[in-house]
Amino acid sequence: MLLANYHTHTKRCGHATGEDEDYVLEAIGHGFKHLGFSDHAMLPGFSEPYKRGDYTLFSDYVDSINNLKQKYDGRITIYLGFEAESYPCYFPFYKELLTNSVLDYMILGNHSAMSEDHKVYAHFSNITSPSQLYLYKDLAIKAISTGMFSIFAHPDYFMSSIANFDSDCKKVSKAIIEACIAYDVPLEVNVAGIRHGERQIGNNRRFLYPTDEFFKLVSKYRAKCIIGMDAHAPDQLMNESAVYTAVRFCKKHDLNVIDILDKIKRRR
Ligand SMILES: [Zn+2]
Ligand SMILES: [Zn+2]
Q: Residues 55, 48: contact at Cβ < 8 Å?
A: no
For the domain 4-257, what is the CATH code?
3.20.20.140
Q: Residues 184, 220: contact at Cβ < 8 Å?
A: no
Over the stretch 140-150, which tens digit does the pLDDT of each residue have?
A: 999 999 999 99
Report CA(125)–ligand 2 centroid distance (Å): 13
Rounded CA-CA distance 147/185 in Å is 9
DSSP-derived letter for residue 45 is: T
Report CA(124)–ligand 2 centroid distance (Å): 14
Mean pLDDT, the chain, rounded, equals 96
Nearest partner of 155 among 214, 232, 216, 237, judged by Cα: 214
DSSP string, 95-152: HHHHHTTS-SEEEE---EEE-TTS-EEEETTS--SHHHHHHHHHHHHHHHTTT--SEE
* Percent of the chain residues past pLDDT 70, beyond the cut: 99
Domain segments of the chain as ranges = 4-257
pTM: 0.97
Report CA(107)–ligand 1 centroid distance (Å): 13
Over the stretch 45-99, which tens digit does the pLDDT of each residue have?
A: 999 999 999 999 999 999 999 999 999 999 999 999 999 999 999 999 999 999 9
Report CA(51)–ligand 1 centroid distance (Å): 6
Over the stretch 221-243, which tens digit does the pLDDT of each residue have?
A: 999 999 999 999 999 999 999 99
Report CA(144)–ligand 2 centroid distance (Å): 17
Rounded CA-CA distance 4/36 in Å is 8
